Amino acid sequence: MSDANDNYDSLSKEEREIRDKEDRERERQEQAALPYTWNQELGEVDITIPVPEGTRAKNLIVVIQKKRLGVGLKNADEKILDGELCAEIKVGESTWTLDNQAVLVHLEKLNQSSWWENVLTHHPKINTRKIEPANSKLSDLDGETRGMVEKMMFDNQQKQMGKPTSDEMKKQEALKKFQAAHPELDFSNAKIS
């Protein structure tokens, strides 16, 4: 696969589009062949596993471990899915429920800043570089990150209007305070950057 990626940059725009389309179709077919469907956000993975009509929770065996997932029916010879997760999860924050002939498994990722290529290591991988994440809300961010994003948004808006950024405003305020504290100094020809 690295050979295919190595020459990708040398392809024309049309050839890249054809390759991308072929890769998306191959991925779609591989994912459709799995005994479950899944989707993810940076911090979590949700898996839907169809089960026979009339299945009750007491008929299921669901194992959620830090690096392993297993789901099966109690009297079946083999599990519906079983294997090593592609990354570690927070076991205490991961859950499963039975709803409408499907087991819904919610996994909280331990590393909440990376995309998973697959759920189980022995299953086909997706191209994580092609993932387009859903828009997030500022309220979803932690305090420090939210403050940094809000500052960047404010500064960008100020620049677009030709007004000073927050850092420039702080410098101007500090200069005003210094001038007020030292009225004997002449700042009329001073250039402050």
Tell me the pLDDT tens digit for each residue of 75-118.
888 899 999 999 999 999 999 999 989 999 999 999 987 889 99
pLDDT tens track for 129-176: 777 666 666 677 677 777 887 888 888 888 888 888 988 889 888 888
**pLDDT of the residue at 34:** 94
Question: Whole-model pTM above 0.75?
Answer: no
Which strands, in side-by-side order, build the sheet including 44-50? Answer: 37-41, 44-50, 102-108, 95-98
**pLDDT of the residue at 50:** 95
The first and second tokens of residue 176, run together, are 């005003």
Best CA proximity match to 109, nearest among 45, 166, 47: 45
Confidence of residue 2 (pLDDT cuts 50, 70, 90): very low
Nearest 5 degrees, angle CA 168-CA 171-CA 173? Answer: 110
The pLDDT of residue 5 is above 60 = no
Best CA proximity match to 166, nearest among 174, 190, 178, 181: 174
Instruction: For residue 101, give the 3-state DSSP assignment.
Output: coil
